[in-house]
A = this chain, B = another copy of it.
Amino acid sequence: MTADPRRLTHVDEEGGARMVDVGQKPATARIAVAEGAIRMAHVTLEAIESGRTTKGEVLAVARVAGIMAGKRTGELIPLCHLMPLATINLQLTPDRELPGIRARATASVVASTGVEMEALTAVTVALLTVYDMVKATDRSMVLEAIRLLRKEGGRSGVWVADALGEEEPLPPHQV
């Protein structure tokens, strides 16, 4: 949005916080994909996976929490616009290599501003919810590698995270 990398869009000339004015920008289709993970002990991941129903329930609750938080991003992030999202979806995948749970959120909207923050917020709150549900078992879990993977639409067009080229496919959705 700016040629000078040291000019922040959310700070005005005198240093005051401001929302970016999107009133002149056309409403276009926009998509953002974000990801992140929560790393935990093997035994904790096993607790989540032990029994179909239980695993489903922990991940189902986390998915609902992430979707609901993604819809309310504009209430949480002070200079974000409130937006009527077209959709936000969230995949939560156990990864025994990590070990832990990986989250990937896709948000879309037809609007005059992007939905990166919605995707990132959905990922983050889903991972915090996993933490909450299993914290009595393991308080040492760490949230990590939370970042934007891809962004489409708007003046800046398609943006893909470095060293990804195309984001790698996640293993199929297993919940």
Residues of A within 8 A of B (CB): 1-2, 5-23, 29, 36, 43-44, 46-48, 50-54, 56-58, 60-61, 63-65, 67-69, 71-72, 74-89, 91, 108-112, 116-117, 120-121, 124-125, 128-129, 131-148, 151, 159, 161-162, 172-175
Chain B residue at smallest Cβ distance from A107: B19
Most buried by B among A57, A80, A146: A57
Contact residues in B for A141 (Cβ distance below 8 Å): 147
Task: Contact check, B57 vs A11: say whether CB atoms are below 8 A apart.
Answer: yes
Q: Identify which of B18, B78, B142 contacts A68 (C-beta below 8 A).
A: B78
Q: Identify which of B60, B125, B133 contacts A57 (C-beta below 8 A).
A: B60
Please list the 4 inter-chain residue pairs (A to B) with the smallest Cβ-Cβ separation, ordered nearest first.
A15-B53, A23-B86, A143-B146, A21-B87
CA distance A110 to B69 in the complex (A): 24
Task: Contact check, B47 vs A77: say whether CB atoms are below 8 A apart.
Answer: no
Task: Contact check, B14 vs A172: say whether CB atoms are below 8 A apart.
Answer: yes
Task: Contact check, B112 vs A14: say whether CB atoms are below 8 A apart.
Answer: no
